[in-house]
Chain A
Amino acid sequence: MPIVSAQSLSFSYELRDEEGNVSEHIDALKNVNLDILEGSFVTVLGANGSGKSTFAKQLNALLVPTGGTVFVDGMNTADESHLLDVRKTAGMVFQNPDNQMIASNVEEEIGFGPENLGVPPEDIWKRVNAALDAVGMNAYRKASPNRLSGGQKQRIAIAGIVAMEPKCIVLDEPTAMLDPGGRREVIRTLHALNKTRKVTIILITHYMEEVVDADYCFVMHQGELVMHGTPREIFSDVKTMRELSLDVPQVTEVAYELQQAGVPLPDGILTGAELTAALTAIRDGKDPAAAVREAGGFND
């Protein structure tokens, strides 16, 4: 059974003019159908205004669909009686690390979620310790969040969700405000959580590098789901990606331009190693696709 299932999901909100009359309906999501498998690492890509953040909020019942349904672990998010269970199943991490922390010290911050769930104190401590280990921040347990770097703060925010022991974590552009170092920290933490704890990760982002290692990828454009597939399938179609005003990883772009210039490269090159292998093969007169396969590509 998929952990998240959206069935002809639509969401629109109303814009009101100064007198409070409805002046315009904005369709943020239009007829989105998708299933996300339990234990997978999924990314949702899209330019600004593509509806990806609105989609993220649907999974946590912060917003409920105006059309269609969303099921999280079999529960309909529109059903009020499941509200807390839905939020317990799908934890959510937001963009700005400062604006999602409540307590003045790391330990208490992580304990906030379990406290809300009514977990007994001894168990809260166990969960807090486990969550701190899971994100590798045990050394900072007594620190004030104000003293941490952006990447560290975001890892604490993730730990705060991990301590609630959700089956699924939704992250709404968690790296948008971080420097490259902090971004790598956060993404590494997410992959570790996915591998060791089998937590489903749904990463909303517009950084292509973060998509490459995912199991599956959805691309959104103006409220619609326009592409889905493995990252390699998605990035093979450089032309469509460009039409959606999205980038592809730099290596893929170089390969695409070379291809356009007449170099017989195969589609869907994602890493530098693959590109080097393909170019070497062409120089030596061998089959570039086979060389890429040897370099570890195309096997997923």
Chain B
Amino acid sequence: MLRDLTLGQYYPEESPIHRLDPRVKLAGTLVFIITLFFGQSVWLYMGASLYLFVVIRLSRVPVRYIVRGLKTIVVLILLSALFNLFLTPGDLLVKLGPLTITTQGLVTAVFMVVRLIYLIMGSSVLTLTTTPNQLTDGMERGLSWLKVFHVPVHEIAMMMTIALRFIPILVDETDKIIKAQKARGADFESGNIMQRAKAMIPILVPLFISAFRRANDLAMAMEARCYHGSEGRTRMKPLIYTKNDRLAYLALAAYFVLMLTIAITLGSRVI
């Protein structure tokens, strides 16, 4: 079970977006998210929609895969929409008993919903087109300037790589422990929430012990293979920018400037 678990959900495809350098994709996602917060204007959001549409088409990932990520935050979207709708002070639009809807509230709610949906869709495109390994690689290389501020970028990336490798192993192990405890008569299904939570302790303790033991073994194996941090280390698959990556950066810059111009010229106008 769960032998191929990947964080996020990589969608294998040979599209121009898949082939882009992970650093470009990270920058693209970041820029997209920033532009979503430029303001509340129909024109701005039309720009963002166009950007998202073009990227999704280029990535050839079916839209239903991208939308699937929204399911998990439906409640969050609904809550923030309702709060914004009913609790924003401003010009009265409709009055429903004790609840009032204002024009400003309606506008804010609509933009809030669209913004949240776009946030999720934007980051889904990143995880659907980039393998977790590429992602950690891209982060390590793309964020290496943080080393100036003594952020252990290489170490964090290495931890993420190892975590990705060990998640399926630990999931398997949990499964084994649960079975072993059940064989000895442990009851995980009945009782109220407190009792069930307590029943988890005999699973967690052995799991932690075994995880520490594995970590110890792994550390020794890494040392035995001459691992000594990022210094003097080369990469088997070095990240090198190609022509497409440079073009993507240009397009990204153009998009950013355009959005900035729209935001400045429109000010706080909605349309």
Contact = CB atoms under 8 A, between A and B. Distances in A.
A142 to B, nearest CB: 12
A92 B233 contact: no
A6 B93 CA distance: 89
B234 A121 contact: yes
Nearest to B162: A102
Q: How large is the interface on A (under 10, 10 to 19, 20 to 34, 35 or more residues)?
A: 35 or more
Contact of A62 (B132, B220, B228, B237): B220
Nearest to B3: A146
B225 A108 contact: no
A99 B169 CA distance: 10
Given A119-B234, A147-B3, 6 more contacts: A62-B224, A91-B224, A102-B165, A118-B232, A120-B234, A144-B4
Contacts of A94: 217, 220-221, 224
A121 B165 contact: no
A108 B223 contact: no
Nearest to A111: B236
A91 B225 contact: yes
A161 B221 CA distance: 11
B226 A164 contact: yes
A51 interface: no
Interface string A170-199: 000000000000000000000000000000
Chain B interface, DSSP helix/strand/loop, else mixed: helix
Interface of A: 60, 62, 84, 87-88, 91-92, 94, 96, 98-105, 107-108, 111-121, 124-125, 128, 144-147, 160-161, 164
A91 to B, nearest CB: 7
B161 interface: yes
Q: Name the residue among B214, B226, B228, B235 with the largest chain A CB count within 10 angstroms.
A: B226
A100 B223 contact: no
Interface in B120-162: 132-133, 161-162
Given A99-B214, A115-B233, A116-B233, A146 B169 contact: yes
B217 A101 contact: no
A118 B220 CA distance: 20
B236 A160 contact: no
A113 B238 contact: no
A60 B224 CA distance: 7
Contacts of A98: 169, 214
Interface in B202-233: 214, 217-218, 220-228, 232-233
18 contacts: A62-B223, A102-B162, A102-B218, A102-B222, A103-B161, A104-B133, A115-B234, A116-B227, A118-B232, A118-B234, A119-B234, A121-B234, A124-B236, A128-B236, A144-B3, A146-B3, A146-B168, A147-B4
A96 B213 CA distance: 11
B225 A116 contact: yes
Q: Name the residue among B217, B223, B227, B234 with the largest chain A CB count within 10 angstroms.
A: B234
Contacts of B221: 92, 94, 99-100, 102
Interface string B102-135: 0000000000000000000000000000001100
A106 to B, nearest CB: 12
A12 B123 CA distance: 54
Nearest to A100: B221
A99 B218 contact: yes
A110 B257 CA distance: 44
Contacts of A115: 233-236
Contacts of B226: 84, 87-88, 113, 116-117, 164
Question: Which 8 pairs between the two chains have the least Cβ-Cβ distance?
Answer: A100-B221, A99-B217, A111-B236, A92-B224, A116-B226, A113-B225, A118-B232, A124-B236
Contacts of B225: 87, 91, 112-113, 116, 160-161, 164
Contacts of B235: 115, 121
B52 interface: no
A121 B220 contact: no
A162 to B, nearest CB: 12
Contacts of A164: 225-226
Given A99-B217, A102-B162, A108 B227 contact: no
B164 interface: yes
A108 B169 contact: no
A118 B165 contact: no
A101 B224 CA distance: 12
Contacts of B238: 121
Contacts of A62: 220, 223-224
Contacts of B236: 107-108, 111, 114-115, 121, 124-125, 128
A110 B233 CA distance: 15
